[in-house]
Amino acid sequence: MIKTVNATRYVTPLREGGSLPAVVEADDGEQYVMKFVGAGQGVKALIAELVAGEIARLLGFLVPTLVLINMDESLGRSEPDPEIQHILQSSIGLNLGMRYLPSALPFNPLLQPTPATDLASAVVWFDAFVTNVDRTPRNVNMLCWEDNLWLIDHGASLYFHHNWTDYLDRSRTPFSLIQQHSLLPFAGDIREADNRLRPQLTHAALSSIIGLIPDGWLGPEEIFADAQAHREAYVTYLIERLAAADNFVTEAVNAYNQLI
């Protein structure tokens, strides 16, 4: 299950993010980085954030706790920036939040110690699986917090769902952008990571994660009769991508071999 909270205080916008997220306080006493349905790629970015984030958690990666956040129209009325005000007014209702990690620093590949080889290989495999176009030097999307590496910001992954045409064919494609991955130079045996991670993503586990998507975020899509059919398409895509994992694993291995 994923917890639902209510936003009670708008703390500050995070202007360095392309989708202009914000730190908010919720009625559970915690602070969250809230991603808005009215920003950027809209609700599909939130679906990708939720699904990819929970897949990462299932695989054992550190991911800030994700919650659904209800926001009413009174939140952020004092924000003077008209662009941010527009996003807030377009996002009344259910949004997504991740636990705020105070004093966390962006991952820097020059810092010591470098990531462990098995961890780097696993993150590379995961991002190839969910087709995460970020996690590059330009947009690293990893934080160092309490001496650990945390994965954040998965809204640009699963980009197939922005156009459902031929989505099953696209589930079997390699992921050439893996060559730009920030952790690829620290990786090692990516095939070992595949052998270790792939069996954990069972049909039941993936169905449970897809089941977390709120009904109101699913649709309208003309090719699906209802929200349940929409969910089943996500599960089918992920299962088919796993079945064809050799395609993206080979792509990642070849990209790594070009570095050594």
Distance between CA atoms of 48 and 152, rounded to whole angstroms?
A: 12
Number of Cα atoms under 13 Å in the Cβ half of residue 238: 28
87 shares its domain with 117? no
Q: Of 84, 99, 114, at which residue does a domain stop?
A: 99
Sheet holding 105-106, edge to edge: 105-106, 142-145, 148-151
94 shares its domain with 119? no
118 shares its domain with 15? no
The 10s digit of each residue's pLDDT in 222-246 is 899 999 999 999 999 999 999 999 9
Please, which pLDDT band fits residue 89 given cuts at 50, 70 and 90? confident
Who contacts 13 (Cβ-Cβ below 8 Å, separation ≥6)?
Answer: 20, 21, 22, 79, 81, 84
149 shares its domain with 199? yes
Q: What is the pLDDT of residue 32?
A: 98
DSSP 187-209: ---HHHHHHHHGGG--HHHHHHH
213 shares its domain with 111? yes
What's the structural domain count of the chain? 2
Q: Of 40, 67, 99, at which residue does a domain stop?
A: 99
pLDDT at 14 over 90: no
Kindly state the average pLDDT of the residues 25-36.
Answer: 96
Distance between CA atoms of 86 and 19, rounded to whole angstroms?
A: 12
126 shares its domain with 237? yes
Query: 129, 105, 144, 112: which is closest to 177 by C-alpha?
Result: 129
115 shares its domain with 42? no
The 10s digit of each residue's pLDDT in 69-86 is 999 988 877 777 888 888
pLDDT at 16 over 70: no
Kindly state the average pLDDT of the residues 241-254.
Answer: 98
24 shares its domain with 151? no
Say if residues 156 and 162 touch (Cβ distance below 8 Å). Answer: no
94 shares its domain with 112? no
122 shares its domain with 229? yes
Kindly state the average pLDDT of the residues 45-74.
Answer: 97
Q: Of 99, 114, 129, at which residue does a domain stop?
A: 99
pLDDT at 18 over 70: no
78 shares its domain with 15? yes
Q: What is the pLDDT of residue 36?
A: 94
Least confident of 6-10, 26-30, 78-82, 255-259: 78-82
Q: What is the pLDDT of residue 207?
A: 98
Kindly state the average pLDDT of the residues 146-157.
Answer: 96
Distance between CA atoms of 75 and 185, rounded to whole angstroms?
A: 43
Beta bridge partner(s), residue 13: 22
Query: Among positive and negative, which fits the CA dihedral 216, 217, 218, 219?
Result: positive
Q: Which domain holds residue 216?
A: 105-257
